[in-house]
Amino acid sequence: MIPPKDNPIWEKIVKKKIDYKFSNYILQLHVFHIQSSYAIKQMDIDKAIDELYRICTKYEVLVKNDFQKLLNEQI
Amino acid sequence: MERKLYTIAQVKQFIAEQKIMVLTGAADVLSELPEGKWIGGTIPYFMDADSGKKTNELIFVDDFSDIAEDIKIIQYDKENIKNIAKDGFDNGFSMLLLPAFTEILTEFALNSFSYDNIFTNPVLGYVTGFDLEKAGTQVAQIFNGTTAQNSNTNGIALHIKLPKTKLAQVEIINIFSQDKNSPSIIFPKDGFEQDSCIINGKEQNLVDYIKDNNIDIKFPLIEEQNGALINKSFMRIDEENKKVIFYSPIFKDREYKFAQKIENYVEKFNFATKEITDVKYSCNCILNYLYGELEGKKVNLTGATTFGEIAYQLLNQTQIYLNIINK
């Protein structure tokens, strides 16, 4: 399971407040793209979270282990 | 179907059987093929099932017939390549072939991350090339199997629709890593050609730095993209104009580092791929084939040996592969 879209973890990823490297290529690239776009104000926070959540939902089977680790690290 | 080299006669039979394929071979052999559900690209270098080899007679076959629910074959130019991901199916992937040293490749390499839906489904494939011994007399080409026509300026894509229960996953294998002792290098502009840059905070000419520090340009510059190591291979140094020309674009304000030197490419590839199974597609880079002396040697993943690899973006000196997994 990936966390719901209102979980603060999404904002932390977009704003690079969490230094976590995803284990699969699509998420590595997508997070890089989202963080870069947000940093240079090409994307606002809501759009960034929407995009990230959309891709993570599509690739849930690939990213669920990453999110389990990530959420455990946050506790 | 096993991913390996086949004769023209065998490939003609596959086309007659309506197989959905990406075909890779020399221009002369691809030109002999009839219309069908295939796209093609010119490359004469391969990692075949038994070893690395060059051939101008055989064709490497990647067959997607068993997984495709539907397909679209679309030819692209430099204006509409931005639609590559948007044109794909809701669930599937797009095999994209772009000819080397063309405007469409430059456009894709510089801008792919800004294309609509680029991360929704994998966009993967390779840059087509030619026999290096015939450079200057041959050009990179793509073939559109639906018309059996070729082009040396356009790209070609095979969009594949997957069943709802399946998901396409593309991954990369980079046998290089950033040298821990490398300086940090930041460039002031996007582009394939670079001169002045900021090295460890100090403005310097990259050509001067490479010469002064005996940097071996067989090894790439590497950028980390949130854990993914992305290579930028050196094409050549233009000493007269003090410029470095790369095979894929450098982007401004990002941090690059020199790669750590490696020796045994075969060992590196086989170690990196030892747990990878059920590969539906793979290709590797001509620079790995040449610098790693892979001709006559075997590495685990077979496929074309290309002038650049595509996995959402243009890659260099990288092996890519595709798995089809259950959702």
Instruction: Note the pLDDT tens digit of each residue in B19-37.
Output: 999 999 999 999 999 999 9
Percentage of chain A lying above the pLDDT 70 cut: 99
In this complex, which of B120, B169, B312 lies closest to A29 when CB atoms are compared?
A: B312
Residue reference for tokens 């510059």: B221
Q: Which helix (H) or strand (E) holds B93?
A: strand B92-99
pLDDT over 90 (residue B164): yes
The yes-or-no verdict on residue B259 having pLDDT over 70 is yes
Burial profile B126-164: b = 16 or more Cβ within 10 angstroms, e = fewer: bbbbbbeeeeeebbbbbbbbbebebbbebbbbbbbbbee
The string of pLDDT tens digits covering residues A8-40 is 999 999 999 988 899 999 999 999 999 999 999
Q: Which amino acid is at B197?
A: C
CA distance B43 to B130: 5
State the pTM of this model. 0.96
Give the distance from residue B168's alpha carbon to the nearest chain A alpha carbon, in angstroms: 9
CB B231 within 8 A of CB B222: yes
pLDDT, tens digit (0-9, with 9 covering 90-100), for B269-289: 999 999 999 999 999 999 999
Give the per-residue pLDDT at A71: 84
Residue B122: pLDDT band (50, 70, 90) is very high
The span from the CA of B132 to the CA of B65, in Å, is 32
Give me the percent of chain B exceeding a pLDDT of 90: 99
Bridge partner residues of B76 (DSSP)? B155
Does residue A75 register a pLDDT over 70?
A: no
- H or E segment and range at residue A31: helix A25-39
Q: What is the mean pLDDT of residues B207-214?
A: 97
Degrees, nearest 5: CA angle B156-B315-B157: 10
Confidence (pLDDT) at B217: 97
Assigned token pair, B313: 């973006």
Q: Tell if the CB–CB gap between A25 and B171 is shorter than 8 Å.
A: yes
Consecutive H or E run containing B128 = strand B123-128
Q: Average pLDDT in the B189-215 region?
A: 97
Query: Quick one: pLDDT at residue B25?
Result: 98
Q: Are B185 and B198 in contact (CB under 8 A)?
A: yes
Chain B residues in contact with A29 (beta carbon < 8 A): 119, 225-226, 228, 312-313
- Which pLDDT tens digit goes with each residue over B45-68? 999 999 999 999 999 999 999 999
Give me the half-sphere count of Cα atoms (radius 13 Å) on the Cβ side of residue B118. Answer: 20
Q: What is the rounded CA–CA span in Å between residue B167 and residue A24?
A: 14
Looking at residue B287, what is its pLDDT?
97
Measured in Å, how far apart are chain B's first and last C-alpha atoms?
23
ipTM exceeding cut-off 0.90 for this assembly: yes
Question: How close, in Å, is residue B120 to chain A by CA atoms?
Answer: 7
Calculate how close chain A gets to B56, using CA atoms only, in Å.
34
Average pLDDT of chain B, as a whole number = 97
For residues A45-59, average pLDDT:
96
Is the separation of the CB atoms in A57 and A26 below 8 Å? no
**A-chain residues near B170 (CB < 8 A):** 25-26
Nearest to B226 among A31, A51, A55 (CB): A31
pLDDT of residue A53: 96
8 Å CB contact of B228 and A61: no
* Chain A environment of B325 (Cβ under 8 Å): 61-62
Tokens (6 digits) for B316: 């260099």
The answer to whether the beta carbons of residues B316 and B105 sit under 8 Å apart is: no
For the cut 70, the answer to whether the pLDDT of residue B188 exceeds it is yes
* Closest-CA distance of chain A to residue B225, Å: 6
Contact yes or no for B226 and A23 at CB 8 A: no
